[in-house]
Structure 1
């Protein structure tokens, strides 16, 4: 990392944002994905905002989003003056339910924004067909799913645009913040490219074609990501093998109140490995006593969050999202885990489920 900082700082261009390293990083990702464009930006959150803005989402519009997930799913919509409409999730996969999404489409709906969740990708073929049939825009929140593939299509490329996040905890995390927009639509990519840099087109400085944002990518981080990219496939494979072993060890525990995610490789991303447990807090304490760290993501559905509750219609409910928030527990899945450590973690979960 120090070498990359020095090379950037002493380079002839003396550019620390949106320079040659960023352009090379975008090019490499574009070639790997077969995308029309990849636009590196300041974060996964800003990537969502830039895509929605490029699509013209604004005041008076509705965007259907999952009720269960990270705040930017709703926050990016609200930031543009539009309204998030929350759809419930599948009780097992915890990704947004296409049937519930379809039920929530209204004449004000302008876009659908399904999200991949934990280790399971959303049913993008179904969402693509739904968006096409109803004349809606389709944004794929693939922030956690870089490297995932569903029916031969890389995560991020089933909708009009997708996003990646490079924040530290993601599968291709970096040493700071960062994200990218990926798309098969060159015109949409061109608009996002302008919006990330105050609406400038990259040719005429200080000529602003659109109201934009400061969401530019750091040259040192671009060089760092290029340095780490050759090992990404191996790290993702290791995550997948750990997940497969957990799922194998936990396959018979559903009747004992511990539900593993669905098995398989297609449509998987292995960002985190998340169980559902009837006695989640007791399981978490049991693991902590054995030196195993676990994590609870999203204990409250988005429509129950103070920031977004005003967008929830009176009497509306999201029972699967509520139940998931009460039961989820994520186990370690980072690729540096040894086989012995994986077995130790699996043994501890089984001890809790079978022995109590």
Structure 2
């Protein structure tokens, strides 16, 4: 079967910001011609921080250059460094390990829950030692980590809780938004994220005002914002762009609507695919507490077969993290010798993600679900 470009369904939509083209061009012109000529960390960035602070009921929000940088700033502000250990999930993105190593500390890899694919609190507790300084769980795909148990573990162990909520904006667990469970949390604004933008950016969220003040200095070479060229710390260049701040302020008005549409698509997929588990295709449950609509991910025994089947029907998919962090060449020498992370390894072997973005039409969403079902049953219903 030949699939035309019009019928193809990409995984990464090339037109994410098409509806906001004029707003983006307007922001570029506004900032570029502003007599103030301030292109980073200006009044628009401050307004974005204020808007997110209000939306999330956080004591402080600090905008920075990326979600990865946000994690680095938090660890640096907490004085985590050589000789310290940070417990991170074995399944996830590279910054979970690289940001720890960039501070001279050691990542300690915990296995994951087999369904949520997030850090297993029981295994994490078994890894706590006198060198442990922090737990750094990450929310994964569309399910928040078990933050109540991890918060309790961090309190018992007397360690910091750094919440990698980079992709979980819109998630709420037990009435508390993603990013608001830890001593500090982060969001990423890279284009495919829930509150993505056409560039890099992120924020640190925290109720610890002293931590926020230090993060604010560290993002700008350790300078005091009131006294330029007065450097209190060895800092970083992690500053936020004024054009992107203006664009995000424009886009914030439609954020709830976009989250709702993504949630609707996730629910439809789960309803249509719920009965395929016995056939080796496991879908996330419909809705529920602690869910957010970033990426819709299945666990499939024959992942490559499903991927090829969907590709033949013009449906692009994506496999995240096909190798666990302790087996990555960059991190393997820091992993526990002889360590075993069976559930993380299964997640790496089986995960496959379906197209999910707000302007995906009902007809295309139905076509995706039909195609997954036809892979299992040989029919479209």
Partner secondary structure for residue 262 of structure 1: coil
Q: What is the match of residue 102 of structure 1?
A: 125
Q: What is the match of residue 279 of structure 2?
A: 256
- Structure 2: tracts of 5 or more residues without a match: 1-23
Q: What is the match of residue 230 of structure 1?
A: 253
**Is residue 337 of structure 1 aligned with residue 360 of structure 2?**
yes
How big is each residue's C-alpha offset from its partner over 1:229-251, in whole Å with a ceiling of 9 and x where there is no partner?
11010000011110011111111
Once the two structures are TM-superposed, the CA of residue 265 in structure 1 deviates from its matched residue by 3.2
Partner secondary structure for residue 139 of structure 1: strand
Once the two structures are TM-superposed, the CA of residue 2 in structure 1 deviates from its matched residue by 1.2
**Is residue 299 of structure 1 aligned with residue 322 of structure 2?**
yes
- Mapped to 1, the partners of 2:297 and 2:54 lie a distance apart of 32
Q: What is the match of residue 142 of structure 1?
A: 165
Q: 1:180 aligns with which of 203, 209, 214?
A: 203
Normalised by the size of structure 1, how large is the TM-score?
0.99
- Mapped to 1, the partners of 2:42 and 2:326 lie a distance apart of 40
Q: What is the match of residue 315 of structure 1?
A: 338
- Mapped to 1, the partners of 2:285 and 2:182 lie a distance apart of 24
- Mapped to 1, the partners of 2:108 and 2:336 lie a distance apart of 9
- Mapped to 2, the partners of 1:23 and 1:229 lie a distance apart of 15
Once the two structures are TM-superposed, the CA of residue 263 in structure 1 deviates from its matched residue by 2.6
- Mapped to 1, the partners of 2:338 and 2:228 lie a distance apart of 51
Q: What is the match of residue 28 of structure 2?
A: 5
- Mapped to 2, the partners of 1:153 and 1:133 lie a distance apart of 21
**RMSD of the TM alignment (CA)?**
0.9
Matches within 5 A, 1:48-87: 48-87=71-110
How big is each residue's C-alpha offset from its partner over 1:239-277, in whole Å with a ceiling of 9 and x where there is no partner?
111001111111110000000013323101111000000
Partner secondary structure for residue 275 of structure 2: coil
Preserved contact between residue 93 and residue 262 of structure 1 (Cα < 8 Å): no
Once the two structures are TM-superposed, the CA of residue 322 in structure 1 deviates from its matched residue by 0.7
Once the two structures are TM-superposed, the CA of residue 314 in structure 1 deviates from its matched residue by 1.6
Partner secondary structure for residue 276 of structure 1: strand
- Mapped to 2, the partners of 1:139 and 1:263 lie a distance apart of 28
- Mapped to 1, the partners of 2:147 and 2:44 lie a distance apart of 32
Matches within 5 A, 1:93-132: 93-132=116-155
Moved over 6 A (4+): none
Preserved contact between residue 274 and residue 285 of structure 2 (Cα < 8 Å): no
- Mapped to 2, the partners of 1:29 and 1:272 lie a distance apart of 22
Partner secondary structure for residue 222 of structure 1: helix
Normalised by the size of structure 2, how large is the TM-score?
0.92
- Structure 1: tracts of 5 or more residues without a match: none
Once the two structures are TM-superposed, the CA of residue 207 in structure 1 deviates from its matched residue by 0.6
- Mapped to 1, the partners of 2:104 and 2:127 lie a distance apart of 19
- Mapped to 2, the partners of 1:113 and 1:280 lie a distance apart of 29
